[in-house]
Chain A
Amino acid sequence: EAQVTQNPRYLITVTGKKLTVTCSQNMNHEYMSWYRQDPGLGLRQIYYSMNVEVTDKGDVPEGYKVSRKEKRNFPLILESPSPNQTSLYFCASSLSAAESSYNEQFFGPGTRLTVL
């Protein structure tokens, strides 16, 4: 089944304890992206990757890191989580980053993170 998977789905942690949220897609997509979703603010892009070893900042990259060493995986790293990073996180992928087609983004199931 074609899908985007994220792990963990739920995580409660404490301030300053490094964590990684994994994201994997099995559709051979070039483009991958991370979003956070907060009430009243909608989905905001954190980082995106147009292909292996190519990553770029989105609208809210502060406090996050990403890597894209393989095409299928795009982990999100919080080196020192803080309470303002409590949010619902979504990973997404699309076939390519081409601007000439609609290139819908497929979203993973989400990771609900709470930082105490």
Chain B
Amino acid sequence: GQNIDQPTEMTATEGAIVQINCTYQTSGFNGLFWYQQHAGEAPTFLSYNVLDGLEEKGRFSSFLSRSKGYSYLLLKELQMKDSASYLCATRGYAGNMLTFGGGTRLMVKP
């Protein structure tokens, strides 16, 4: 089975940096995804990690440590529009099945 933990809520200030952590325990691991979801909208893809290390994409970076079952999403130069839920999801070996954590609701304040 799969178990994914991430904080329920976080608050940060516009222009700052925030790190959202995700820990997972899986019976088979084949990659970790981060999605962004604004209230009432569909999740949209942010990043994918399958090997250890940091993947950078503009203001967003994602890190993975497979030995520790740990990932984080780093958001730099926060903007008000970054207020959203951030979903961590692992993929197993059965096709393209994703298992999602409960999501972290990020509130960016002026």
Q: Which residues of A contact B (CB under 8 A)?
A: 31, 33, 35, 40-45, 48, 50, 56, 58-59, 90, 94, 96-99, 102-110
Contacts and interface: CB of A to CB of B under 8 A. Distances in A.
At the interface, is chain B mostly helix, strand, loop or mixed?
Answer: loop
A99 B93 contact: yes
A104 B99 contact: no
Contact of A108 (B40, B42, B89, B103): B42
| Residue from A35, A50, A105 whose CB has the most chain B CB atoms within 10 Å | A105
Interface stretch (B43-51, B63-71, B74-82): B43-51
Contact of B97 (A48, A90, A102): A48
A33 B100 CA distance: 14
Interface of B: 30-31, 33, 40-45, 48, 50, 87, 89, 91, 93-103
Contacts of A56: 94-95
B96 A94 contact: yes
B25 to A, nearest CB: 15
B87 to A, nearest CB: 7
A87 to B, nearest CB: 14
B60 to A, nearest CB: 14
A45 B95 contact: no
Nearest to B46: A104
